[in-house]
Structure 1
Amino acid sequence: MSRRCDLTGKGVQSGNLVSHSNRKTKRRFLPNLCNVTLESETLKRSVRLRISANALKSVDHRGGLDAFLAKARDEELSPVALDLKRQIAKAVAAAAAA
């Protein structure tokens, strides 16, 4: 399982650990990933995702999972989230046509 957020695409970063004597050794900055279950109002079901804590705040700020995915760019979404975005768009189009 990769250490990458399903919604924002935030991943591992690298940098230097600097000691008191100013020696530099490589280190990794890991994203704060959480396993969460989010509710989709359009699909009327819950979805399990592995997202960062920052993405969870963004989902709440934008008004839910459906609104977040509607505004998100396709390049930064994982294949699972991209499939979910397509399902939501399909359900919205079907509801508008009916």
Structure 2
Amino acid sequence: MAKKATLGGKPPQTGKNVSHSHRRTSHQWLVNMQERSLYSATLGTFVRLSLPSCVLRTIDHVGGLDIYLLTCPPDQLERPVRQLQKLIGQRQAAAANA
């Protein structure tokens, strides 16, 4: 499982497990990562991404992968997703000019 989400930038949470005797031990809760194929209407293909479930809900809420990626700041995205964002932006600009 990934240590940090590629979209959304959600890091793992840390804390303490507390037993019945109040003995505290360190614990790390990793992000709920899901491997999904999402459809890009601009590219006309499915894109396979590993995303946390909170980002999947956000993509569904805003209306699709293309809209979500274009509204995300590029500095919060990993390199492959940033390249996908750039490609979608170029294709939409080319379609608007044509």
Fold shared by both chains (TM-score > 0.5): yes
The runs of at least 4 aligned residues of structure 1 exceeding 4 Å deviation read none
Q: Greater shift after overlay, 30-39 or 17-26?
A: 17-26
Distance 1:40 1:95 in 2: 15
The aligned runs of 1:39-78 (5 Å cut-off) are 39-78=39-78
Distance 2:9 2:87 in 1: 20
The sequence identity of aligned pairs, in percent, is 38
Distance 1:79 1:16 in 2: 33
State yes or no: 1:32 paired with 2:32: yes
Distance 1:80 1:13 in 2: 25
Distance 1:65 1:87 in 2: 13
User: How far has the Cα of 1:62 moved from its partner?
Assistant: 0.4
* CA deviation profile, 1:25-76 (whole Å, cap 9, x unmatched): 1100111100000000001111000001111000000000001011112222
- Cα RMSD (Å): 1.3
The count of corresponding residues between Structure 1 and Structure 2 is 98
User: Does the CA contact (< 8 Å) of 1:6 and 1:80 recur in 2?
Assistant: no
Distance 1:90 1:70 in 2: 11
In structure 2, stretches of 5+ residues that fail to align are none
Q: What TM-score, normalized to structure 1?
A: 0.92
User: Does the CA contact (< 8 Å) of 2:13 and 2:30 recur in 1?
Assistant: yes
Distance 2:3 2:40 in 1: 24
1:80 is aligned to 80
User: How far has the Cα of 1:23 moved from its partner?
Assistant: 1.6
User: Does the CA contact (< 8 Å) of 2:12 and 2:29 recur in 1?
Assistant: yes
